[in-house]
A and B are shown apart, each in its own frame.
Chain A
Amino acid sequence: MNKFTISGSPHIKSDESTKKIMYGVVFAMVPAMLVSIYFFGFQAIRVLVLASIASLFFEWVIQKYLIKGPVTIDDGSALVTAILLAFNVPSNLPSWMIIIGALIAIGMAKMSFGGLGRNIFNPALVARVFLLISFPVQMTSWPKPEGFSIGLSDATTGATPLGIVKEGLGAGKTMSQLKPEIPTYIQDLMGQMGGSMGEVSAIALILGGLYMLWKKIITWHIPVAMLGTVVVFTSILWGIDSEHFADPVFHLLTGGMLLGAIFMATDMVSSPMTHGGQIVFGVGIGILTVLIRVWGAYPEGVSFAILLMNAVVPLINKGFKPKRFGLKPAVSKKS
């Protein structure tokens, strides 16, 4: 084993820098957290707390008793996964399902691969897709954001804007007929729309993204490539037929688009190493997202698209590896 000379991304040199980055991400998620608590009330706190406790607990148990290695639950990575998981589910999801989600994210998607830095797929997204396919009813009953409430009783539920458009177009309606049913762009920006906890407010997410850019936790390449592709692709469709395709602004502001572009596609473990690779990665996510949103059976495609492109990352990294002088472009000179 020459694991000391070759290792996958990210090339983290010390625990301290991991910690700094991870807690930076947590801090960047605070605005979105506050918005979700404001709109979904006590339920949002329940989901956030439960996801965090469960994720940290599973990480601790697995590191201590199954892998029998050092316990690193204080490096913040499990907390980031937990908050992202909470952001990706409806606020009224039953507690036991949140715990299952945490087990899948930490136990299956992260620890089975050996822990932080080795996972191929974004843990929170694996858990989200797992939950979506396992519990389709509960994962698609979105409580309406109605301002802070202390109650734990079921809030009224409604569809997400994407769901309304997909259903409506599927039933043969046109975009102008659907206009009154979907929220205005101002509401999208603030967060007054049905959806997963963390994805509702565009402003809060953008604030977090700007903070991470400023702190150099992320670079602009992936989000800009991804969002740019979505804008171009949907503009073309919208330009061809504005009655049967939603406009680009709608696509940008609704669903998990911004949450995915800013916080999940940029996850440095499961994204490409070079900037060139990151742009290819972002463009791929953008194209797949629009394909699934417009023609697929699921109204939202961001999480599927990111997972699919996660699988392509090893190939992208190969293609964009800085070539060493004199090395033939042969493919199989490993091990």
Chain B
Amino acid sequence: MGSKKESNFLNMVLTLSLVAIIAALALGGVYVVTKAPIALAKKKKLEAAIKKVLPEFDSISTKKFLPPGGGDSLTFYIASMKGKTVGSAIKTYTMKGFGGRIDIMVGMLNDGTINNTAVLSHKETPGLGDKMDIKKSDFSVQFRKKNPSSFKLKVTKDGGDVDAITAATISSRAFCDALTRAYDTFESQQANLNLDNK
């Protein structure tokens, strides 16, 4: 050893292949080991969000529906307790945020009443729009136990019932937009949801 290997063609190809093979093996190994934990971490996050927005449940079924206004389909996690549906967690979104897309999980009881909401991801301005997150302010509390049939999902400035976040009307409007999308889809798909309404 001591002196470096000569750079002839065979040497170069051999070394590079060897390095690549070892790297691929190492990566494959790590991938196999971390695959289950990664899936678990993702599932946990989703479950935590569903649990947060719905009353207690013991099983979940998943359905996808297109919103009546057009756009990407929304995922419904229909939760039931002892065979009876207790509500649906709807993964909804809006493109109208200050920073673009916002994903929100909305829990709706069988009659369409909003049980709770949870912001899944957003790019809103820190200190302003990010107040829609329950960790930052109480903005989202006002939606709890409100039914959009009587509670107008619009900010007060636009003639609705929602108190906007100070200086972040755009983010507040976007939040309402996402909720409206969830509610409209929920209403239009009543027949396909098989909810235990009575």
Q: Is the interface of B mostly helix, strand, loop or mixed?
A: loop
Asked if residues A171 and B167 are in contact (CB atoms below 8 Å), the reply is no
| A297 at interface, CB cutoff 8 A | yes
Are A171 and B158 also in contact (CB < 8 A) when A136-B128, A297-B98 are?
Answer: yes
Total interface residues on B, using CB and 8 Å? Answer: 9
| B169 at interface, CB cutoff 8 A | yes
Q: How far is the CB of A41 from chain B (nearest CB, A)?
A: 25
Asked if residues B158 and A136 are in contact (CB atoms below 8 Å), the reply is no
User: Which A residue's beta carbon lies closest to that of B128?
Assistant: A136
Chain B residues with Cβ under 8 A from A171's Cβ? 157-158
Asked if residues A137 and B157 are in contact (CB atoms below 8 Å), the reply is no
A167 vs B157: C-alpha distance when bound (angstroms):
9
User: Which B residue's beta carbon lies closest to that of A137?
Assistant: B167
The digit string for A138-181, where 1 denotes a CB below 8 A from any CB of B, is: 00100000000000000000000000000100110000000000
Q: How far is the CB of B171 from chain A (nearest CB, A)?
A: 11
Total interface residues on A, using CB and 8 Å? Answer: 7
| B3 at interface, CB cutoff 8 A | no
Asked if residues B170 and A297 are in contact (CB atoms below 8 Å), the reply is yes
Chain B residues with Cβ under 8 A from A167's Cβ? 157, 169
A170 vs B171: C-alpha distance when bound (angstroms):
13
Q: How far is the CB of B137 from chain A (nearest CB, A)?
A: 12
A171 vs B156: C-alpha distance when bound (angstroms):
11
Are A137 and B170 also in contact (CB < 8 A) when A167-B157, A171-B157, A297-B98 are?
Answer: no
| B149 at interface, CB cutoff 8 A | no
10 contacts between A and B (CB under 8 A): A136-B127, A136-B167, A137-B167, A140-B167, A167-B157, A167-B169, A170-B169, A170-B170, A171-B158, A297-B170
Other 11 A-B pairs with CB < 8 A, given A136-B167, A140-B167, A167-B157: A136-B127, A136-B128, A137-B166, A137-B167, A167-B169, A170-B169, A170-B170, A171-B157, A171-B158, A297-B98, A297-B170
Binding site for A on B (CB under 8 A): 98, 127-128, 157-158, 166-167, 169-170
